[in-house]
Structure formats: C-alpha cells, structure tokens
Structure 1
Amino acid sequence: MDHDFRFLACDEAAAAYLGQPADRLLGQSIWDAFPATARPPLGPVLRRAMADRRPVRFEMAGTIRPDRWVEFTLFPIAEGLGIAFRDRTAVHRATESLQASEERLRDLLSTLDLGNSMARDMDGTITFWSEGCARLYGWTTAEALGRSAHHLLGTEFPRPVAEVAAALERNGEWTGDLHQVARDGRKLVVAARKVLRRDSAGRPVAVLEALADVTAQRAAEAALAESEARLALAIAAAEIGIWDWTSSAARLVCTAEVLAICGLDSSTEVTFALARQMVHPGDRRRVVRALREARDPARRAQLDLACRIRRPDGTVRQVAIQGEPLFSERPAGAFAIRVVGTLRDVTERWQWQEERFDSEARLRLALGAGRMAVWDADLRQGKVTGSTELPRLLGFPDGPLPDIETIRARFAPGERERLRKMGLVALAGGEQFLEAEFRYLRPQSAACWLMLRTEFTLDASGRAVRAIGVVLDITERKQAEERQTLLAREVDHRAKNALAVVQAALRLTPKDDPASYMRAVEGRVAALARAQTLLARGRWTGAELRALLEDELAPFLAEGASAPRARLDGPPVMLWPAATQALSMAIHELATNAVKHGALGRPGGTVTVQWQVEPAGPPILRLEWRESGGPLVPGSPSRRGFGTRVLDGTVRAQLGGKVRQGWSAEGIRVEMDIPLSGGITPPMPESAAVSPAKPLPPKHMPDFPRTA
C-alpha cells in the first residue's frame, strides 16, 4: 500500500477475504475495498502507523465484514505501509464463551457454597465443604477439610455401606436418607444425592454430595403415617365408611366399609340414584333436603343426620350420615361442589336408645303413679340430686334441689333425730340399708307422710359418704290407717251407744199394752237401725240431714191422694255421727207422735221440716218441726211423755243443744238448736275423713210420698 493508501500488491488469500479478484485490487484505494463503516475507526490507526514508521498490531470488529473480528499487523515498507490480517472471530467467540462459562462457574460455586454440598475423595476424605454444610452441621470449612465424612458426621446408612458403594459405582449416583449427628449432638435426617466423578480414563476420583435437612419433614411424615394408621384402625373398629361425591359426577366414591354397611357387593358402582333409592321412603325427603342445603353456596350447611336405609336383601338399618361441603369457584362465577363425609351403622345404638326411652317412660309413669322419686345424696358435700318427681314430692320448685340441710329442716319435729338414730343403729349393726317412715312438712299444705328406702356407701373408716334410694308419699295410706282406727273406735262407740239407747227404749216405753209396747220398741230400734245404715253408708263419718229426714219420715206416710205429706226445706248439711244417731231418734219420736196424735194421723195432714245453719260464732243447726191439718190441740199436755224425754235426752243431754216446744190449734211446733261441732262425740278430723258423697242440692219437697 503506497502513501495514498492504494494497493501495490495483494495475495489471493487477502483478495478472497475481501471478496474481489487480486488484479482488480491493484491501484485501488483501500477505502474502496473496505466497507464505509471501517474508515472512521481504521483511518486514524493507518495514518499514525504511516507517520511513525513502526509496526503495529491490533484487532478490530466490523472493518472488513460487519460480523467478524480481524487482527491487523501494520509494518513500514519503502513504498509506504504493509498490511497483514487474519480472521479472529472464532477466537473471540471462544473467549467470550469461556468468560461466560467462568462467570456461571463462579455463580455455581457461590450457590454451592450457600447450599448444603460437599465433595470427598474415594477414601471418604472431605475435599470441599460449603458454607451451608458449616451452618447445618456446625463445623467450619477449616475444621471439616481433610476429615473422614463418615466419622465426622457419624453417618448411618439405610442399607449396608457396601451396597451403597456398589450402587454408586454401577449407576453413577445414589439417593437416600442418612441419619447423622451435628456438632452439638442434634440428630439429623439428611436427604443425600451422591454423584460419582471419573477421570479421562474412567476411574472414580471423587464423590459430590448435595444434602438437605429433612429432619422435621420426616418427623411430620412419621407422625402423619402414625395418625393415618390410628385413623384407619379407628375407622375399622368403629365400622365407619368414607364417601366422596362431586356434583359433576354421576357416582360416589366409597370405601369398602360403606358398601358393607349398605349390604352391597364390593364390585357395585354406587350411583347417586342408587344411593337415593336405598334411603327409606319415610326419610328420603328429609335427606334430599339436607343434601340440597349442603350444596347451596349461600348456606354451606354441614350434613349431620340419621336416617333409615333399606338393603338389597330387604333389611332396614339405621345409619348416621355426616358430611362437609367443599366449594371451588369457577371463572364463570359458578361453583364446583364436592361433599366428603362418613357413614356409620347405628342400628344397635338406635334400638338401645328406643328401648331406653321406652323404659324411662315406663319408669316415669310408674314413679308418677306411685308418687315415688329416686334420689342420690353426697353426704360430704350436702348435695342432693334426683328424678324430676323429687322436687315436687318435697315441695320445691322444679329444677335443682337445695342442699340437704334445707331439706332436713322440713322434717316434722323430732323426726330428723329419730331417723339419725335409726341410721346409726343400722350402720353399727353392719347394715347399709335403711327403711323408715316419717312426717314431712310441705310449705302451705298439711303435713304428709313419706317412706324412705336408702342404701349407704361407706368410706374406708366406715363412715357413710353417700346415700341413694327412693322416697314414697304414703300420706293416703297413713290417712287410711288413721281412718280405719278411728272408724273402729267409732263403730265400737256407736255400738255401745246403740245398745244403751235400746236399753233406754225398753226401760222407758210404757208396758201397759204388750202390743203397743212391742210396736213402740220395734219402731225405735228400726229408727236406730236406719241411723246406723246412714252412718255405714258414709263410712261412719256422718250423714246428710235431708237423707236422714227422708228415711225417718218415709215409714209414717200413707199412700193415696189424700194421704199426709211432708215438706222438707233447707240447705245441705253434713251431720257428724253422734248427731246423726241422736237426731234420728228425735225425729222418729216426733213422727210417731204425729201419727198417733197429730197431723200424720189425719188425711191431708202435713208436716213441714225447715232448717238452716247460723254461721255467727260456732255453727248452729236450727231445725223446726211444724204440723198442720191434724186434730185440734187443746193446749200443752199435762205430763211429759216418752217422746219429750227422748228429745231432752238426745238434743239437750247428748248433743248439747236446745229444744223449744209449742202447741197451737193447728198442731205441735218444735224448734231445735244443735251445735254442728261439740257434744259427746266430736266430728272426725279432716285428716282422717273420707270425702263424703256429693251433697244433695237444696230443694223443697211439697209432695214427699211414702217410700218402699
């Protein structure tokens, strides 16, 4: 190239690289042969080399070809400047690749250093120890290098070491868990991946190991496996089946236990239609409604219900169904619905509950009918529990009972101490059972009688710490016993009184005319018998006044339109036994006298009996006997007859009452005032009384005919 940068000579290789024949390049300017983009960077270098007249070597890209690197050598010659060049693109690209590889290697080594990795030679000596291994095991790089890896870490292999080495030799790598020990004594489970490295001759020279601490993961996996094993055992023991149903699927995924509970073959495909058909018709609507609510995204209700199913063999079983709805939203806003649940056969438990409910219902009926309650007392803490009947039986509101001292405070005076002594005597005699009757005071009611049957639980010292038993209301039985005792006494008294009255009738009746004597005695004894019948009909508690008057007057009334009549007018009055007998004799004497001498001895004669009760002060029965339509009465008799003596003896002496007699032209009039309480035999107490028959309503009897 001359001083003007024109080619003086060019070899074939240079011409080929420039892409022109060599003869065409001669005399041509270098700037015509090179691309225009080469002149700015290359021009200054050529001019400086031309001026300095010293050799220059450099590399430049994009001069002759835009994508190539070219090495130029410039040297001075006499005519100008010589140029030698060669293509260095491949060298440059190799260098760039090497630099990139070195950068990646540096990154890889940095990563390995951060991770848990190490290298060892074939005899186990550690040659590389990353920073991650230092953090994991606790030994620094300086402490670990040159040490035996197996001895340093106390490695335990899952298989014999020889088998692991053989697998590594055969496959070039091995993966498995190693049990190792850190510097501080922690036991580690490490997932290791060992890779064998060989030299150019194929000989093993080193082992690279990538390590990961999986101690917590393996512990969690072991715990999960153990939990799943326990769950499987529990499910098998409880005979619980698992089912899984997705709304888009036509069948249910079921375990073998579900099929066994439903009585289906193991190869049966359980479709939703089959499952619905197996539900008992009586429960089907309820089950479908519950499943519909579980499938509703707005409700997301859990399944928890019991129903009956009918197996293919026709047997009916009671099952418990539980399920959890799971929802996943789709892009279109819809939900994919999945329900996972359990199925459990509860037939035996259901039958047992039904039997228990029936038994409890029968027990409640029996306790209620028997006025009985069951109780349990903790004698150390003073707490009492019992059946629902116990509060009502003891006179407390429904609900929890008060402490035992509050209950004992309602025992009748003396009863608490008596029961305590009975319990001590029983325990002293080796008996843990006590049965006793005692009086109990319910609030706002009369005292009642309770029967207690209890069994004690003793502690090691023989002290009673608990008592269980039943309590029974025996008030009616006690009242019946009292009534029976009083009735026996009353019957005895009435019998003696009746004999005394008969004796008096025999003694006082005139004996001048035997026939009249016999009729009088018979009538008076019959009156006494009628009174006894009325008392027996009322169980010796008394008699109703109207019934007494009807019975006593009936024998003296004749038949016929013009026969005498009796009128009875007054309210219902219950007479006590002594008054019944005495008043019966008095009315009999008045009726006998009316037949012989008064209104009942004439056709059309009338006897009117009126009475009322004076409530002021002690109650007084005021009874009036008035005759009309009989023979004219000249005045009061000159002497007192037997009837008058009977009235005085019964009303005044026996009943403590008053008798007033008067005689007018129309007939006799007798007024009697009889106390309704008091006298020789007082009325029976309310606690011993038997409820009388429904009292007769007050009525007038204008026509009281003779009864048979």
Structure 2
Amino acid sequence: MGNVGLVGATENENSAAARVRQDLAAAEAANDALRRANAELALSRAALAAREQQLRLALDAARMATWEWQAEGGRLTGSAGREALYGRPPGSLDSFAAVLEAVHPADRPAVAAAIRRATARGPEEERFDAVEFRVLGADGALRWLRGQGRVTQRHKETGRPFRAAGITFDITERKRAEQAQREAEERYRVLFESAPFGVIVLDSATLSILDVNTRACEEFGYARGEFLRLNIADVDALGDAAAIRRRAKAHAVRSGTQEFEAQHRLKSGALRDVLVRVQGIRLGEREVAYSAHFDITGRKAAEAHLARLAAILEATPDLVAISDARTGRAVYLNTAYRRLLGLGENTPPEAVQLLACHPRAVARRLMEEAMPVAAQEGAWTGEGAVLAADGREVPVSLVVLAHRDGGEVANYSAIMRDLSELKRAEEERALLARELDHRAKNTLAVVQAALRLTPKTDVASFARAVEGRVMALARAHTLLARGRWTGASLAALVAAEMAPFAHGRLRTGGPELRLAPTAAQAVSMALHELATNATKYGALSVPDGQLGIGWWQDVPAGTLHLRWSETGGPPVAGPPAQRGFGSRVLEATMRDQLGGTVERHWHHEGLVCDIALPLDRALARG
C-alpha cells in the first residue's frame, strides 16, 4: 500500500532492524573489548586477566560468544559460554562437525553451506559470512542463533585459509517478535459497509481486512462473517502479503495512493480481474488503506482475446498486412511479412506502401479488381505475387478483406500464403510423372527385347526365362524408385541381383557409385544373364563354386569397368561352339544400349567377363 498506508509495516521492519543493529553493536563492542585486551597483553598478566573478565562479562551480557578455527587439525575454540548458547556442555563443540551436530536438522544444510562458502572464499574476498539457525537446548527449548565470521589468516604460498574467526549470538527474542507479528497479521480481519462499488479497508501493517461493504460481499460471494476471517492475501491471487505490498509500491500515483490491476479470487474459486484504487488514511490511532475495487473481467477478457489473435498473427507463416484505405500505407505488418520484405523490428509499418511491394501487374489487378470487389462484397480471393527483399517474385494465394468505419472502407486486410513450395512440388510431380512415363516406356522396350530374344523351345522354359528377366528388371526398378529415379547404387544393385543366385558365395568390391537409370536396368539384365549361365554351367552349378564381382573407374579414359569372375566350377575347355542367348543379351544391353564393350575369357578355372562402359552414360549426374 502507499507510504501512509504501509507505515505500520515499516515501523515493524525498523523495529526488527533496530534489534539487529543492537545485536551487531553489542558484537562490535565485544570485538573492541577483545582488541583492547590483546593490545594490553604485553603490559601485564594481571591486566590481561582483567580484560578477559571484561570480555566475558560483555559477551555474557549480549548472549554471544567468539570462536576461532584453525585449519590444522580442524580445531575450533571459543570464548567461555559458547557451548551454553547451543545448550551443550563446555568443550563439546571443538570442530565444525560438532557444531553441525548441535544445529537443528532442518537448518544443517544452510549452516554447512555457509561454512563452505566462508572457507572457500579467495584472498580477494575478505568478507563476513553469516547464517541464522535453530538449536535445541538441554531443556528442550528451541532457540535461534546467528553465526558470522571470516577468514583471518591464509597460507602465504597457497592462499588457502589457515585461520578463521567470528561470533555467535542469540537472536531468539527477535525471531519470536517476527513470529508474533506474522501470527497477528493472520488474526486481524474485519469488515466494512460503504459505496456502491466494492470497498475493502485494510490494516496497513498486517493487510488484514478491517471492513467491507455490501457490494464487496455480493461480488466476492462471502457473508460478512466469512470476510472477517480473511486477509487480503486470501483474496488476491498473488497469495503473498509481501508480493502485494511490492506491487502496490510499484504503482504509486502520489504519496499514500496507488492504482493497479489485480486478480481476486471469489468464494467459488473463480478469478475476476479488478482495477484497484487505494488511498492510505488514518482512522483513530490506526493507519488503514481504503481500497475501491472495480470489476474489469469483461474488458480484460477482450484484451486477452485480442492478444491471442495478435500472437497467432505473429506466429503464423502466412503474410498478414493491414493498410489504410485512403493512403495505401501499412498500419500493421506481421513478422512473416516483415521478414519477406527484409524490414527490421523498429521499422514503422507506415513507412511501407503496400501496393509497391507487388509486381506492377499484380498491383494493378489489386486496385482494379480485388479492392473494389472486397469493398462491395466484403472479401476477394485469388492469387498474386509479392516482391521479396532479394528481388524474387514470391507467388501467393491472397485474401483481401474490407473493413468499414461509419459506412466508408477504412482499412484493407491482406492475408497471403507463400505458394513457392507448392509450386515447386507441383513442378517436381509433373517432372517425375514425365520421367516415370519415359522410364516405363524404356522398361517396356527392354521387356519387349527380352521376349523377342528369349528362345521359345518350350512353354515352361520360355515362361521361366521371361519371368527371371522381368524380375531382374523389377529389382532394378525398386532401387531406382527409392532414389526417385535419379539413379541407383551399383553395390546395392549387385547385391539385389545376386541374392537369388549366390547364397553366400559372392565376393564384391568397388567404390560407392550411382548408376544412371538406363545403365541400372541394363546392368541388372547383364548380371541376371551371367548369373543364369553360371547356375546352369559355371561356378554356381556346383556347391564349391565361387563368384567375384568387382568394379572401378578409369577417370582419364572415361570408363567404368565391371569384372565378373568365376572359380571352383566345372573345368572350362574353351569358349562354347556357338553364341548363346546370354551373349546376345550382353551385347544388346552393354554394347548397343550403353555403347560399351564386353570381353569374355574362358579360363580353365572359370569364366571371366570384363565389361567397360562410358562414364557419361553409366553414372548418374549430380
């Protein structure tokens, strides 16, 4: 509340602060006495004893004690009566561990943290560390103590703490006073009757409700007797008296007066938005705060709705702009529109002439078609283009809305969606469709050739041969489809085509290469024919036969080499007496279709077939 309304709370805080200053002043007096005693140590043992007695009396009077810690052995010593503050026998608190054992279990982590913090400070941080904690005396009474100290001596070379010293003193009375004040704030709650709007009168010191009017009872849903048991913290959504005071101070209009918005909780649990106007006044001997409460829930709901709409507009990837119908200048541009135009956050929308952001033909169409239709029918939809900051024409779908004020169109809203990705996707689909059409025709041509070249000795053999060659093409087709018909991995093609034949007897090797779609189909047919021949007559016709397939590039020559080698099969006497169907397929695919060469070597241990293909026709581009 205001400076007048909260003076009671300030007096209590000052009182607590005064007690702390008294404690610290007493501690300083004790330290002063200790310094004087040490200075006079050399003068006389009798004087020293007298000074020590004075120090003990001062410490006893202030209910405090001094302590000193030595790193060597972790020894902790102190003045007489130190253990008594903890309710422990003399000599029992000879280490920090013993002190922690004497602290209330709930406060031990804080005390341990303070000790670690103090001993861990570097030489440049010569400052006191303090902590307040509870102890349980021998009589079972709970007492509050405050300990504070700092490092007094460090190792000359390492800088590590060597000694530390400080004081411990009893702050039980101060803590009891603070607790009593908190309990008082919860006890004092009352009510008042006044104006036709909700009025609540508060005790400025405790924020207890002293009085409420009938309107407040009606609005909050409480009976007068129920309100008597409430504190403003029970009503305010903040739920914390300190936070309520901070908010009030932050919204001071003048001395003793504040005005702010808050949320108050009704008896039903519902939250209502309110405008609170507070004036601090004096009633008899008590400082109170007179507060009027105006329900603004409807207004806040409308503002929140507008804020949500604004957040949506800022988050959407669509381009949203509102222009002045008279000047054509923008009055609002969302983040997506600003980003497209390359505008900074601080650029005012009024600096943008929206029609200038469109290509000329589009701007003319907007003026001649879109705006007149929107003005007449309320909305217009179509497509257009926006000029991006980099000069690109960005295709957009466009909705233009007209907004009237007093019968005249005051503003136009434009909602645009970037169609660039959609247009690219449509182009890609059309391109893919054309490519698939082309590939399908090529595949049908290959199938037609396979049908034409396949010997028609009998129906069953013909069907098996055709089925095998079509399956070879199908495997190649699957790999090409995975790559969106841009190419297929040669290693994957070899593995797929040899899977039905080699059964673990295949060795492959070569760099990672991607075959062009036409080459992939041709190579799949060639591998199929070689594998079929090896299964009938070569290495794959016996259990111990082995097959090797390797490939490499000769970049200077512009050639891709593919080598087929068989070992462990039936001995080979020489080339066959007549050229078979497989030979014709190899020549038709490798030589005629791809412009390559095929060389077969009939070694005694097995067939070796070397295929060379032009790189520019064999490998996929990009």
Q: How does 1:424-439 map to 2 (within 5 A)?
A: 426=369, 430=373, 433-437=379-383
Is 1:347 matched up with 2:297? yes
Aligned 8 A contact 2:328 2:353 in 1: no
TM-score under structure 1 normalisation? 0.47
Matched residue SS, 1:555: coil
Please report the RMSD computed on the Cα atoms of aligned residues, expressed in angstroms: 5.2
CA apart distance, 1:467: 3.9
**Which residue identity lines up with residue 414 of structure 2 in the other structure?**
G
Q: Does 1:550 align with 2:550?
A: no
Task: Determine the C-alpha separation between the residues in 1 that align with 2:206 and 2:405.
Answer: 66
Does the Cα contact within 8 Å between 1:294 and 1:301 map onto a contact in 2? no
**TM-fit CA distance, 1:449:** 4.7
Partner in structure 1 of residue 335 of structure 2: 388
Distance 1:487 1:384, change over 3 A: farther
Matched residue, 1:419: 362
Partners of 2:241 and 2:549 in 1: how far apart? 77
Report the count of equivalent residues. Answer: 417
2:541 is aligned with 1:601: yes
1:588 Cα offset (Å): 1.7
How many angstroms apart in 1 are the aligned matches of 2:273 and 2:430? 60
Matched to 1:478, the amino acid is: K
Which residue matches 2:263? 307
Q: Distance in 1 between matches of 2:501 and 2:476?
A: 16
Q: What are the Cα deviations for residues 86-133 of structure 1, in whole angstroms up to 9, with x where unaligned?
A: xxxxxxxxxxxxxxxxxxxxxxxxxxxxxxxxxxxxxxxxxxxxxxxx
2-structure distance, mates of 1:508, 1:404: 72
Is residue 373 from structure 1 mapped to residue 373 from structure 2 by the alignment? no
SS of the equivalent of 1:454 reads: strand
Distance 1:614 1:629, change over 3 A: same
Structure 1 residues 94-493: aligned runs within 5 Å: 239=197, 241=199, 243=201, 247=205, 252=210, 258=216, 260-263=218-221, 274-276=230-232, 278-279=234-235, 283-285=239-241, 287-290=243-246, 302=258, 304-311=260-267, 316-323=271-278, 339-353=289-303, 363=312, 368=316, 371-378=317-324, 380=327, 382-383=329-330, 385-392=332-339, 400=347, 416-420=359-363, 422-423=365-366, 426=369, 430=373, 433-437=379-383, 449-455=395-401, 467-493=412-438
Does the alignment pair 1:588 with 2:528? yes
Distance in 2 of aligned mates of 1:327 and 1:621:
101
Give the corresponding residue for 2:565. Answer: 626
**Residues of 1 paired with 2:583 and 2:435: CA distance?**
27
Structure-2 separation of matches of 1:441 and 1:674: 46
The question of whether the paired residues in 2 share the 8 Å contact of 1:651 and 1:674 is answered with no
1:534, distance to aligned residue in structure 2 (A): 3.7
Q: Deviations over 1:430-451 (max 9, x none)?
A: 5655544457786799986532
Residues 524/455 of structure 1: CA separation in 2 closer, same or farther (3 Å cut): same
Closer/same/farther in 2, CA of residues 255 and 436 from structure 1, 3 Å limit: same
Is contact 2:553–2:560 with CA below 8 Å preserved after alignment? yes
Contact 1:385 1:400 in 2 (8 A): no
Structure 1 residues 22-61: aligned runs within 5 Å: none
- Partners in 1 of 2:347 and 2:251 — Cα distance? 44
Cα distance in 1 between the residues matched to 2:247 and 2:370 = 62
Unaligned runs of 5+ in 2: 1-194
Distance 1:293 1:434, change over 3 A: closer
- Assess, with a 3 A threshold, how the Cα gap between structure 1 residues 342 and 569 changes in structure 2: closer, same or farther: farther
- Flag the 1:422–1:353 CA change in 2: closer, same or farther, 3 A: closer
Output one character per residue of 1:355-395: Cα deviation in whole Å (capped at 9) or x when no partner: 5556666x469x64xx4232224573544733333334667
The 3 A distance-change label for structure 1 pair 423 and 524 is same
Equivalent position SS for 2:265: strand
Tell me what 2:28 maps to.
none
The answer (yes or no) to whether the contact 1:294–1:303 under 8 Å persists in 2 is no
Structure 2 counterpart of 1:566, from 506, 511, 521: 506
Aligned-partner residue type, residue 493 of structure 1: H
Structure 2 residue aligned with 1:531: 476
Quick one: structure 1 residues 454 and 317, their matched pair in 2 at CA, closer, same or farther if it must change by over 3 Å? closer
Tell me the amino acid that sits aligned with residue 630 of structure 1: G
Structure 1: how far apart are the matches of 2:448 and 2:557? 36
Instruction: Provide the secondary structure at the position in 1 that maps to 2:230.
Output: helix
Deviations 1:467-498 (A, max 9, x none): 42212233443333233323332332223222
- Give unmatched runs, 5+ long, in structure 1: 1-234, 329-334, 559-563, 687-708
Relative distance call for 1:615 and 1:339 in structure 2 (3 A) is farther
Listed one character per residue, the Cα deviations across residues 645-682 of structure 1 (whole Å, up to 9, x for unaligned) are: 44444345545x64453526243132444647789xx8
Q: For the structure 1 residues 242 and 357, does the alpha-carbon distance in structure 2 shift closer, same or farther, using more than 3 Å as the test? A: same
**CA separation of 1:535/1:248 partners in 2, compared to 1, >3 Å: closer, same or farther?**
closer
Q: Structure 1 388/571 Cα, relative in aligned 2: closer, same or farther at 3 Å?
A: farther
- Compared CA separation, residues 442 and 609, structure 1 to 2 (3 A): farther
Check the 8 A contact 2:329/2:353 in 1, yes or no. Answer: yes
In 2, distance between residues paired with 1:248 and 1:282? 16
Say which one has the larger Rg. Answer: 1
Question: What code does the residue aligned with 1:605 have?
Answer: G
**Matched residue of 1:283: which SS?**
coil
What amino acid maps onto 1:423 in structure 2?
L
Distance, in Å, in 2 between the alignment partners of 1:240 and 1:616 is: 94
Counterpart AA for 1:472 = R
User: Which amino acid is the alignment partner of residue 546 of structure 2?
Assistant: T
- Following TM superposition, by how much is the alpha carbon of 1:318 offset from its aligned partner in structure 2, in angstroms? 3.7
Deviation at 1:553, TM superposition (A): 1.4
Alpha-carbon separation, structure 2, partners of 1:320 and 1:544: 72
Which structure has the higher relative contact order (CA within 8 Å, separation 6+)? 2
Alignment-derived partner of residue 466 in structure 2? 521
The answer to whether 1:610 aligns with 2:522 is no
Q: Secondary structure at the match of 1:663?
A: strand
Distance in 1, matches of 2:476 and 2:334, equals: 50
- Residue 507 of structure 1, CA deviation: 2.3
Tell me, yes or no, if the aligned pair for 2:374 and 2:400 is still in contact at 8 Å: no
Distance 1:671 1:392, change over 3 A: farther
Partners of 1:288 and 1:343 in 2: how far apart?
A: 15
SS in 2 for 1:469: strand
Q: 2:599 aligns with which of 646, 655, 661?
A: 661
